[in-house]
Amino acid sequence: MKLTKQNLSERAANDYDVIVVGGGAGGLSVGIYLQRYLLSSLIIDKGKARSFWMQELHNYLGLPPDTPGRSLLRQGKEHYLSLGGDILDGFVEDIVDEGETFAIRVKIGRHDSIYQTFRSKYLVAASGIIDYLPELDNMRNVYDYAGYNLHVCLICDGYEMADKKVGVFANSLSNAEVVFPLGWFTPYITLFTQGLFEVADELRQKLQENGYQLVETPIKQFLGEDHQMSGVELEDGRVIGLDAGLISMGSKYHANYLEKFNLEKQGGNLITDQMARTSHPRIFAIGDLKVGLNQVVVAAADGALAATQIWRDLRRALGAKRPVQK
155 is an interface residue for a second copy by CB under 8 A: yes
Q: How far is CA 126 from the centre of its chain?
A: 8
> Cβ 185 to a second copy, closest distance in Å?
7
Long-range contacts of 201-204 (CB under 8 A, 24+ apart): 203/173, 203/176
3-class secondary-structure state, position 129: strand
Cβ atoms < 10 Å from Cβ of 197: 16
Residue closer to a second copy, measured from CB, 130 or 304: 304
> Cβ 184 to a second copy, closest distance in Å?
5
> Cβ 175 to a second copy, closest distance in Å?
17
Could you tell me which residues are beta bridge partners of residue 270? 265, 290
d(CA 283, CA 97): 10
d(CA 18, CA 240): 51
75 is an interface residue for a second copy by CB under 8 A: yes
22 is an interface residue for a second copy by CB under 8 A: no
Binding to a second copy in span 256-285, by CB under 8 A: 274
Using CB under 8 A, which of the segments 35-43, 116-124, 231-239, 260-268 binds a second copy? 35-43
245 is an interface residue for a second copy by CB under 8 A: no
Residue of the chain from 5, 70, 79, 164 that contacts a second copy (CB under 8 A): 79
d(CA 136, CA 262): 35
Using CB under 8 A, which of the segments 133-141, 153-161, 235-243, 249-257 binds a second copy? 153-161
> Cβ 88 to a second copy, closest distance in Å?
20
Cβ atoms < 10 Å from Cβ of 298: 17
60 is an interface residue for a second copy by CB under 8 A: yes
Residue closer to a second copy, measured from CB, 8 or 297: 297
Q: Using CA atoms in the order 284, 286, 288, 290, what is the torsion angle rounded to 10 degrees?
A: 40
127 is an interface residue for a second copy by CB under 8 A: no
Using CB under 8 A, which of the segments 73-81, 100-108, 140-148, 195-203 binds a second copy? 73-81
Nearest in space to 132 (alpha carbons), one of 217, 254, 241: 254
Secondary structure element (H or E) that encloses residue 75, with its range: helix 69-82
Residue of the chain from 103, 162, 200, 239 that contacts a second copy (CB under 8 A): 162
DSSP string, 146-211: BTTTEES-HHHHTGGGTTS-EEEEESSHHHHTTHHHHTTT-S-EEEE-TTSS---HHHHHHHHHHT
Residue closer to a second copy, measured from CB, 175 or 194: 175
72 is an interface residue for a second copy by CB under 8 A: yes
> Cβ 134 to a second copy, closest distance in Å?
25
Residue closer to a second copy, measured from CB, 62 or 237: 62
DSSP string, 87-129: EEE-EEEEEEE-SS-EEEEEEE-SSS-EEEEEEEEEEEE---E
Q: Are 165 and 188 in contact (CB under 8 A)?
A: yes
Residue of the chain from 19, 285, 305, 310 that contacts a second copy (CB under 8 A): 305
Secondary structure element (H or E) that encloses residue 223, with its range: strand 219-225
Binding site for a second copy (CB under 8 A): 25, 28-29, 32-33, 35-38, 58-65, 67, 71-72, 75-76, 79, 82-83, 155, 158-159, 162, 180-181, 183-185, 187, 210, 274, 292-293, 295, 297-298, 300-305, 308, 311, 315, 320-322
